[in-house]
Structure 1
Amino acid sequence: MKFFQIAIAAAICSALLAACSQPAPPAKAAAKPDRDPVAAVTAIRAAGAKLESAVEVKPLRDPAVDGLLKQARDLEAQAQPAQALESVRKAEKIGGATPEVLQFEAELLIQLREWRQAGEVAQKAFDAGPKVGAICARNQQTLIETRSALGDAAGAEQARAQVTACKQAAPARY
């Protein structure tokens, strides 16, 4: 009988100790970047606009692709990035995933807060595109923004160093 009383007392003490302990912290969810997507896209487009390079690559495109890209820009201006992204992806099906179209896709993905996917698309655009000029600068600024948003400071710094490499000085003229 005494053994039974000791067992009950031990069980009660265990239950009280368990009730006093703190619960385990919740599993760390994937961090949601708190960066402003509008400010990020503004910085990306400014990087391309302010870059003065002697070399710019301007591909010829199918008029249907141009029409879809115009439609996407109009939808973006109406604050409809998801619909704009649909138009861009239709343009990719017609004209292929060109660096300029991929870059636009990455910018729309940022507006939709799809930071990781935007970074992947921007890297793809850079890998396939020119290593000089405005599109290069926009690619690298996109990588800066997405990597910063995802907490990759080293990757953002690496992309920051690449932005200056996008500028191609004009040859000396005699």
Structure 2
Amino acid sequence: MSCRLPVPALVACLLLTACSEPQLRQAEVVAPAAAPQAVDLLAEVRAAGADAGDVVEVAPLRETSVQDFVHEAVRAEAASDYRAAALALRQALSLSADDPELLQHSAEMQLALGVFDEAERLAARSFEKGPRLGGLCRRNWATVRLARDAVGDGAGADRAAQQLTQCVVMPPVRM
């Protein structure tokens, strides 16, 4: 007994099979890593640097070309294109290498991209070049804390959290 399908039926069956969506085997499905979301990391850093009213923040004047790159980075970050934002900030830093605000913004983009060692390095350099007090200082140490926490260095994250508390200017005692 032979089981032969008519040729047109076989061709139709093959065409329908080719048009169907491929089925994923269970082993092919990979769960994403339980890493913090970039938006959450950036929100935490920015919240740490929020104005606490403890210092007067002074924004330096920048060259127009540097400011253009900063605006480009802000637009890219708003679109969640952290790679493009990091590239624009790298170009800004090529023109103004010691700007602590640019260094910190670059550190934040590296944090969002998951390049934690570079985020920590840039935040530390920003701290060295910056005022060591106020919002920028708090953002520096929040970035270091999150980067160390992300790589499993709990003790380093705790030290960075302690340093963050040193960024607040205590008001004078008035009698």
Give the TM-score, by structure 1 length: 0.75
Q: Deviations over 1:20-42 (max 9, x none)?
A: xxxxxxxxxxxx87233221111
Percentage of pairs with the same residue: 34
Q: Deviations over 1:144-166 (max 9, x none)?
A: 10000011111111111111111
Residue 113 of structure 1, CA deviation? 1.1
Residue 130 of structure 1 pairs with residue 121 of structure 2: no
- Give structure 1 stretches of 5+ with no counterpart: 1-31
- What's the counterpart of residue 164 of structure 1? 165
- What's the counterpart of residue 78 of structure 1? 79
Q: Deviations over 1:94-125 (max 9, x none)?
A: 12231110110011111111112111111111
Give the TM-score, by structure 2 length: 0.74
Residue 50 of structure 1, CA deviation? 4.5
Distance 1:121 1:148, change over 3 A: same
Give the counterpart letter for 1:141 in structure 2. A
Q: Is the contact made by 1:57 and 1:130 (CA closer than 8 Å) also made in structure 2?
A: no
Aligned length: 143
- What's the counterpart of residue 35 of structure 1? 36
Higher relative contact order (CA 8 A, sep 6+): 1
Distance 1:168 1:55, change over 3 A: farther
- What's the counterpart of residue 152 of structure 1? 153
Q: Is the contact made by 1:72 and 1:84 (CA closer than 8 Å) also made in structure 2?
A: yes
- What's the counterpart of residue 118 of structure 1? 119
Q: Is the contact made by 2:137 and 2:164 (CA closer than 8 Å) also made in structure 1?
A: yes
Q: 3-state SS of the aligned residue for 2:49?
A: helix
Partner Cα separation in structure 1 for residue 113 and residue 163 of structure 2: 25
Residue 57 of structure 1, CA deviation? 4.2
Q: Is the contact made by 1:110 and 1:118 (CA closer than 8 Å) also made in structure 2?
A: yes
